[in-house]
């Protein structure tokens, strides 16, 4: 094991969130010391405020910025202004505060929503600027994309070391299963489980089922983030994904099978599909810092379902 993290003071924003909890565990596995990892809770530290960002980045060597206001398609349609303002303000303030406080490395976790709506599959990093993002999540995607421009500008002017990672849709134990904010996998798991509990003979799923998605198991994502933090120092963005694509229709069929739901699937075609296709070219992450996703999709889904079923009473 390398000693890279053993003496580093790390600010992990969003460290209590879904992905953050897994990144925290991975940092400890890689030799970071518990007392050297600062996780600012949103109720105590509002990262949209400049002075708060300046305070939390003092005496910090590495910032891993995972905090964000984020949700699924419904949430994106309902709160586009908040999503834009919150995400851009947190990122801009943290990067500037990190520069002022001589933070040695800034790791910005972006989103696949930053890619243009009709990006050719597989998405290569150089396609990032070839069009406008899918409308329902454009405010969130663009707010995150601005941070890439800022990091590259700061590298050029101040020699500030900032890297920018683009993870695909993540899923796994600890995901957000709240109906209003959840993404597709947790939303479907909850829907199917509750339909079974209530003996319903069908579930209603948004869209046509024709859109495709790629999913990255959260522990693999955490591994990729921590590897990049240690080994990657270039200003160019890097995809983090699992390198496969599945249609939403096939995802629903697979979940129904794994959860043994016998009812009908009804597609609500009045609701949006979101981006038509999503799948990343993941070769750069492997080439630059040796990252390759390990978890088989079905295995990851089983672990996520088990987590939800065990914690259902708490998650209600």
Interval 197-211: pLDDT, tens: 999 999 999 999 999
Residue 270 lies in a domain: no
Position 216 pLDDT exceeds 70: yes
Mean pLDDT of 186-199: 97
140 half-sphere exposure, CB direction, 13 A CA radius: 24
Give the pTM: 0.96
Residue 315 lies in a domain: no
Residue 48 lies in a domain: yes
Residue 271 lies in a domain: no
Count of domains forming the chain:
1
CATH number for the domain spanning 121: value is 3.40.50.720
| Residue that is written with structure tokens 């500030």 in the block | 160
pLDDT score at 181: 81
Domain assignment of residue 46, given as a range: 10-171+214-243+278-294
Residue 45 lies in a domain: yes
pLDDT score at 74: 84
Residue 303 lies in a domain: no
At 15, the pLDDT band (50, 70, 90 cuts) reads very high
Residue 230 lies in a domain: yes
pLDDT score at 2: 79
> Per residue in 163-177, pLDDT tens?
999 999 999 999 999
At 142, the pLDDT band (50, 70, 90 cuts) reads very high
With beta carbons less than 8 A apart as the criterion, state whether 10 and 27 touch: yes
175-200 core/surface letters (b: 16 or more CB in 10 A; e: else): bbbeeebbbbbbbbbbbbbebeeeee
Active-site annotation holds for 312: no
Distance CA 48, CA 114 (A): 21
State residue 130 phi and psi, 5-degree precision.
Answer: -90, 30
Residue 64 lies in a domain: yes
Mean pLDDT of 41-62: 97
pLDDT score at 1: 67
Position 250 pLDDT exceeds 90: yes
Catalytic residue among 24, 75, 140, 164: 140
């Amino acid at each position: 094991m390398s000693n890279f993290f053993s003496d580093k003071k790390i600010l992990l924003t969003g460290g209590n969130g879904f992905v953050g909890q897994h990144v925290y565990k991975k940092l400890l596995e890689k030799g970071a010391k518990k007392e050297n990892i600062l996780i600012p809770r949103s109720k105590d530290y509002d990262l949209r405020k400049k002075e708060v960002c300046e305070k939390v980045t003092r005496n910090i060597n590495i910032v891993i910025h995972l905090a964000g206001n984020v949700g699924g398609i419904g949430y994106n349609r309902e709160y586009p202004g908040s999503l834009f303002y919150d995400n851009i303000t947190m990122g801009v303030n943290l990067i500037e505060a990190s520069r002022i406080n001589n933070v040695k490395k800034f790791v910005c976790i972006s989103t696949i929503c930053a890619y243009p709506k009709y990006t050719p599959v597989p998405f290569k990093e150089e396609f990032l600027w070839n069009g406008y993002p899918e409308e329902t999540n454009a405010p969130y995607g663009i707010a995150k994309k601005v941070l890439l421009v800022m990091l590259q500008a700061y590298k050029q002017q101040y020699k500030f070391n900032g890297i920018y990672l683009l993870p695909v849709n993540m899923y796994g134990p600890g995901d957000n299963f709240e109906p209003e904010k959840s993404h597709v996998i947790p939303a479907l798991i909850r829907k199917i489980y509750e339909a079974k509990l209530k003996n319903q003979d069908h579930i209603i799923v948004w869209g046509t089922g024709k859109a495709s998605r790629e999913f990255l198991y959260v522990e693999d994502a955490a591994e990729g983030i921590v590897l990049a933090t240690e080994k990657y120092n270039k200003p160019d963005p890097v995809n983090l994904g699992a390198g496969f694509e599945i249609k939403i229709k096939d995802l629903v069929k697979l979940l129904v099978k794994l959860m043994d739901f016998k009812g009908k699937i009804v597609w609500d075609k009045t609701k949006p599909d979101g981006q038509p296709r999503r799948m990343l070219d993941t070769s750069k992450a492997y080439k630059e810092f040796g990252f390759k996703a390990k978890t088989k999709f079905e295995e990851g889904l089983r672990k996520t379902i088990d987590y939800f079923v065990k914690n259902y009473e708490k998650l209600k």
